[in-house]
Amino acid sequence: MTAWSKLLVATTRLIDLHDSGHEPGSPFVQVSQEQRRGWRDGYWLDLGCLLLDYLLDVDFATNSAFVSQTRCLTHLRESYPESYAALPHDDLVYVINLLATPSEIHFRQPRGDQDGEAAGRAARSTKRTALIEKQGQTGQVRLTPSGRQAVTLAGQVEDLLYSEYDAAKVLAALARGDFACIPDITNQILLAIRALTQELRRVRENPTREGKLSALLDNERHYHNALTSIQQTLLDARAQLSTARLMERFDAWREMQTEEWDLRMLSSAIGRVLTAIENLSRRLSELLADIAEGRIQSMGVVDFQALARHLLEAPGESSLQQAVVARLMPLYAQPAFPRVVPLIPLLESRRAEASHAALVFDETNDADPEDPLLARFLEARGPALRERLRGGPLPLPEALAEGWHRFEDGDCLAQLLNTFVDTELLAPGLTVGIEPQPFALRLDDGRRVEGAVTPSLGFFEEERA
């Protein structure tokens, strides 16, 4: 069973209780086997779990940046390598839309004590169940806080308060010589630290969200104790890495591994956790200082378009306008010109030779082609090629097969293609027709010419007339 399967095993019956239509107080207490809908092959669930795992990896590497659906599809197709048709883009879009659409969950929680007596449990609900956040314009996706929590739970990552036991696993792995599992253990600790760090950031932006601020204040001493314990344990582990005895054991273990290992890989993995602990401690101290001094306040989403419309409808006071204009406008509105000295090396210093030829801009008497090979090609092969076109259209693959690109014991492929681009080179009235058929042709010298469509050169206008 995978980590996601274990999470579903632990929560499926709870979902059944949530969706149950059993009437309270009913004497019919027998429960039958639930008949679940679906394809019963795990396809959609597998796509969703793979997508959430990939988004967590990207979230960890890019600091919660949005990811394009193309990158997600490319990664998911690695799990279905038999055929691209096995994983169409529409299936991914369906999974994203489903995971990005919230569903309401109803629950109960204590109302609190009133006059020393329990006031019972009140019914509550939440719609913060979407696991993926999708941008409306670009369609890019990333994990929501609920999605990150779900992936973390599926990965069996404990809360930071219990991660000190994971840090002790590093010492146990060093004692047993199981060096390969140390990066995985440190990554688990990093995920727990990063989850709490993002929780602190969200609390600073909106401290009234679901009582998280009071929970952090209540557990502040425990968090500091856990961070201190983790830090001391990892410092002891990193100190052991520099001992001669452990280095000898690591060298003997590395020789038996198929992959390349370096002791600095373990040291850097532990160092990343120590750096994250320092950042988390600083953020926690800053949050507590802001709370103590009353500087923390709720921050919402600002609709700047609505703000701009409001300013147009009801401008602010003149003093406010002057202050805003003074901060936005440049200090001195003077013209700016580039210096000439840096541009001198880019200029052409040589003067053109004097020419007594008159320049006449007459499109009817264009000059001869500048390419002498093209001029000779048109002069020698032009009459025969025009005669060939009189008999019917000439597709490019047939022109290459008939050898129209060979001239003077050489190659004139570029000149032949030029006649398909500039049809006036051969004769007036020539046009190019496009057939929606791909072609691929290999020349005698090994070159390969291919295209998604097939161009044909001919007198199509005369044929229609």
Are 171 and 247 part of one and the same domain? yes
> What type of residue sits at position 418?
N
For residue 116, the model assigns a pLDDT of 47
Q: Which of 269, 293, 317 is the last residue of a domain?
A: 293
266 neighbors 241 (Cβ within 8 angstroms): yes
For residue 162, the model assigns a pLDDT of 65
Rounded to whole angstroms, how far apart are CA atoms 295 and 80?
52
Rounded to whole angstroms, how far apart are CA atoms 417 and 422?
9
For residue 359, the model assigns a pLDDT of 55
For residue 296, the model assigns a pLDDT of 56
Q: Take residue 135 and report the two structure tokens written for it.
A: 């941008």
β-strand pairing of 117-118 with 113-114: antiparallel
For residue 81, the model assigns a pLDDT of 74
Query: Does 408 map to a domain?
Result: yes
Are 376 and 458 part of one and the same domain? yes
Are 164 and 275 part of one and the same domain? yes
Question: Which domain covers residue 196, as residue numbers?
Answer: 157-293
Query: Does 82 map to a domain?
Result: yes
Are 45 and 91 part of one and the same domain? yes
Are 203 and 133 part of one and the same domain? no
Are 196 and 259 part of one and the same domain? yes
Query: Does 324 map to a domain?
Result: no
Rounded to whole angstroms, how far apart are CA atoms 397 and 443?
10
Query: Is this model's pTM higher than 0.75 or not?
Result: no
For residue 117, the model assigns a pLDDT of 47
Are 163 and 282 part of one and the same domain? yes
Are 161 and 68 part of one and the same domain? no
Are 130 and 202 part of one and the same domain? no
Rounded to whole angstroms, how far apart are CA atoms 398 and 379?
21
- The C-alpha angle with vertex 10 and arms to 5 and 11, in degrees rounded to 5, equals 100
Q: Which of 264, 293, 322 is the last residue of a domain?
A: 293
Going residue by residue through the chain, which has 465 residues, state the pLDDT in tens, using 9 for 90 and above: 576 777 787 788 888 888 888 888 888 888 877 777 778 788 888 899 999 989 988 888 888 889 999 999 999 988 887 654 568 889 999 999 999 999 989 888 877 554 444 557 888 888 888 999 999 888 899 999 888 888 877 765 445 666 777 888 899 989 988 898 999 889 888 888 887 777 777 776 665 554 566 666 777 778 788 888 889 999 999 999 889 999 999 999 988 888 888 888 899 999 999 998 888 888 888 777 776 666 555 444 566 777 778 878 888 788 887 877 777 766 665 666 666 666 665 555 544 555 565 555 555 555 454 567 788 888 888 888 888 888 888 888 888 888 888 877 777 888 888 888 888 888 888 888 888 888 888 877 778 888 888 888 888 765 554
What CATH number should be reported for the domain holding residue 136?
1.10.10
Query: Does 25 map to a domain?
Result: no
Query: Does 261 map to a domain?
Result: yes
For residue 379, the model assigns a pLDDT of 84
Are 187 and 92 part of one and the same domain? no
SS3 137: coil
Number of domains in the chain: 3
Query: Does 390 map to a domain?
Result: yes
Are 167 and 281 part of one and the same domain? yes
Query: Does 174 map to a domain?
Result: yes
Q: Which of 293, 327, 352 is the last residue of a domain?
A: 293
DSSP 400-437: HHTTTTEETTEE-HHHHHHHHH-GGGT-TT-EEEEES-
Are 139 and 229 part of one and the same domain? no
Query: Does 440 map to a domain?
Result: yes
